[in-house]
Amino acid sequence: MSRTWLLLLGAAATVGFAAIVLVGIPRIMLVRIEAPPQLAPYTDLEARGRAVYIANGCVYCHSQQIRDPAFTTDVELGWGSRATVPADYVYDRPHLLGTMRTGPDLINVGERLPSASWHLIHLYNPRALVSWSIMPSFRYLFEEREPGDVRPGDVVVSVQPPYAPPGKVVVATPDAQALVAYLLSLRRTYPVPAADTGAARGMSRMP
Amino acid sequence: MGRRHVSRQDATLPFRGDVEIRLRADASSRAPALVFFSTALVWLLFGSIEGTLASLKLHMPDLLTSAGWLTFGRVRTAHLNAVNYGWASLASIGVALWIIPRLVHTELRWPRVATAGAVVWNVGLVIGIALILAGRNDGLEWLEMDRYLADPFLVVGGGMAGVTLLATLLARQSGHLYVTVWYTIAAFLWFPVIFVIGNWPTWTGVESAAVNWFYAHNALGLWFTPMGVGAAYYFIPKVLGRPVYSYQLSILGFWTLAFFYALNGMHHLIGGPVPTWMITTSIVASVLMVIPVLAVAVNHHMTMVGRFGALRYSPTLRFVVLGAISYTAVSLQGSFTALREVNRVTHFTHWTVAHAHVGVYAFVTMVLFGSMYYIVPRLVRREWPSARLIQWHFWLVLAGIALYIIPLTLAGGFQGLAMLDPAVPFQRSIEVTRWALVSRSAAGVLLTTGHAIFAYHFWLMVRRRGPTREVPPFHEPVPVVYERPEGQA
Distance from CA of A196 to the nearest CA of B (A): 13
Classify B473 as helix, strand or coil. coil
- Inter-chain contact B185–A203, Cβ cutoff 8 Å? no
DSSP state of B35: H
How far apart are the C-alpha atoms of B360 and B221, rounded to whole Å? Answer: 11
In percent, how much of chain A has pLDDT > 90? Answer: 69
Does residue B425 sit in helix, strand or coil? coil
Q: Which of B208, B356, B343 minimizes the C-alpha distance to A67?
A: B343
Report CB contact under 8 Å: A200, B209.
no
- Chain A window 112-131: which residues touch B at a Cβ cutoff of 8 Å? 125-127
Q: Is A136 on the interface with B (CB under 8 A)?
A: yes
Sequence-ordered strand ranges (E) for chain A: 142-145, 156-157, 169-172
CA angle B173, B178, B182 (to 5 degrees): 105
B10 interaction partners in chain A (CB closer than 8 Å): none
pLDDT given for residue B475 in this prediction = 83
Residue B221: closest CA among chain A residues belongs to which residue?
A15
With CB atoms and an 8 Å threshold, state whether A99 touches B68.
no
Structural contact between residues B334 and B356, judged by C-beta atoms closer than 8 angstroms: no
Task: Supply the Cα-derived Rg of chain B in whole angstroms.
Answer: 23
Q: How confident is the model at residue A32 (pLDDT cuts 50, 70, 90)?
A: confident
Quote the pTM value.
0.92
Inter-residue contact B86 to B150 (CB < 8 Å): no
Q: Do B422 and A73 touch (CB under 8 A)?
A: yes
> Could you report the per-residue pLDDT of B252-280, keeping only the tens digit for each?
999 999 999 999 989 999 988 988 899 99
The predicted model gives A144-150 an average pLDDT of: 89
With cut-offs at 50, 70 and 90, classify the pLDDT of residue A26: confident
Least confidently predicted of A2-6, B208-212, B300-304: A2-6
Subunit contact A71:B212, Cβ cutoff 8 A: no
Strand order in the sheet with A169-172: A142-145, A169-172, A156-157
- Residue type at position A39: L
Predicted confidence at residue B362, as pLDDT, reads: 97
pLDDT at A195: 52
Size of interface A-B (CB pairs under 8 A): 238
Angle at B321 between CA B285 and CA B255, to 5 degrees: 30
Rounded mean pLDDT, B334-343: 92
Query: CA B328 from chain center: how many Å?
Result: 14
- B263 and A76 in contact by Cβ < 8 A? no
Mean pLDDT of A73-78: 90
Q: What is the chain A residue with the closest CA to B248?
A: A1
Q: Check whether A174 has a pLDDT greater than 80.
A: yes
**A197 pLDDT band (50/70/90 cuts)?**
very low
Whole-angstrom CA distances from A81 to A85, A88, A112, A193 are 12, 13, 11, 14
Query: In a 3-state reduction of DSSP, which class is residue B482?
Result: coil
The verdict on a CB contact (< 8 Å) between A60 and B77 is yes
On whether any CB of chain B is under 8 Å from the CB of A64, the answer is no
Angle at B229 between CA B226 and CA B232, to 5 degrees: 145
Whether the CB-CB separation of B109 and B171 falls below 8 Å is answered with: yes
Q: CB of B377 within 8 A of CB of B384?
A: yes
Residue B12 has pLDDT above 60, yes or no: no
Least-confidence region, from A41-55, B31-45, B237-251, B445-459: B237-251
A residues 86..115 contacting B (CB < 8 A): 86, 88-102, 104
Per residue in B119-135, pLDDT (tens digit) is 999 999 999 999 999 99
CA distance B346 to B344: 6
Give residues with Cβ within 8 angstroms of B230, minimum separation 6.
Answer: B96, B99, B179, B180, B181, B182, B183, B184, B187
Percent of chain B predicted with pLDDT > 90: 84
pLDDT band at A29, cuts 50/70/90?
A: confident
pLDDT at A142: 96
Neighbours of B421 (CB within 10 A): 13
Give the nearest partner residue to B420 out of A23, A30, A73, using CB atoms: A73
| Banded model confidence at residue A198, pLDDT cuts 50, 70, 90 | very low
Q: Is the pLDDT of residue B232 over 80?
A: yes
How many residues in total does chain B contain?
489
Partners of residue A142 on adjacent β-strands: A172
* Stretch B327-341: mean pLDDT: 93
Measured between CA atoms, how close is B418 to chain A, in angstroms?
Answer: 11
Torsion sign across C-alpha atoms A157, A163, A168, A172: negative
Q: Say whether A169 sits in a helix, a strand or coil.
A: strand
Shortest CA gap A10–chain B (Å): 8
* Nearest by Cα to B474 from B333, B244, B317: B317
Q: Which residues contact B35 (CB under 8 A, 6 or more apart)?
A: B94, B115, B118, B119
- Amino acid letter, B294: L
Q: How far is B280 from chain A (nearest CA, A)?
A: 9
Q: Is the pLDDT of residue B32 over 80?
A: yes
Average pLDDT, chain B: 92
Using a 10 angstrom Cβ sphere, with 0-12 exposed, 13-18 middle and 19 or more buried, the burial of residue B486 is exposed
Distance between CA atoms of residues A128 and B356, nearest Å:
34
Average pLDDT over residues B383-403: 96
Least confident of A31-35, A193-197, B118-122: A193-197
CA dihedral for B342, B344, B347, B351, sign (positive or negative): negative
Q: Do A139 and B65 touch (CB under 8 A)?
A: yes
- Is the CB of B182 less than 8 angstroms away from the CB of A68? no
Residues B292-319 have pLDDT tens digits of: 999 999 999 999 999 898 898 899 999 9
pLDDT given at position B174:
85
Backbone phi, psi, residue A143, to 5°: -110, 140
Secondary structure of B375-387 in HEC code, one letter for each residue: HHHHHHCCCCCCH
Instruction: Find the range with the poorest average confidence among A4-18, A122-136, A190-204, B332-346.
Output: A190-204
Q: Is residue B195 classed exposed, middle or buried when 0-12, 13-18 and 19+ CB atoms within 10 A define those classes?
A: buried
pLDDT tens-place string over residues B429-447: 999 999 999 999 999 999 9
Q: Predicted confidence band at A124 (pLDDT cuts at 50, 70, 90)? A: very high
Average confidence (pLDDT) over B453-472: 92
Asked if B400 contacts B454 with a C-beta cutoff of 8 angstroms, the reply is no
Report chain B's terminal Cα–Cα distance, integer Å. 71
Q: Inform me whether the pLDDT recorded for A194 exceeds 70.
A: no
Burial tier of B429 (Cβ tally within 10 Å: 0-12, 13-18, 19+): buried
Spatial distance between the Cα atoms of B195 and B422, rounded to a whole number of angstroms: 40
Three-class HEC string of A44-103: HHHHHHHHHHHHCCHHHCCCCCCCCCCCCCCCCCCCCCCCCCHHHHCCCCCCCCCCECCC
Residue B442, CA atoms < 13 Å, CB-side half-sphere: 12
Distances (CA, A) of B355 to B81, B220, B334, B437: 17, 12, 8, 15
pLDDT the model gives residue B332:
94
Question: Taking 70 as the threshold, does the pLDDT of residue A196 lie above it?
Answer: no
Q: Which of B174, B206, B430 to mutate to test the interface with A (most CBs of A within 10 A)?
A: B206
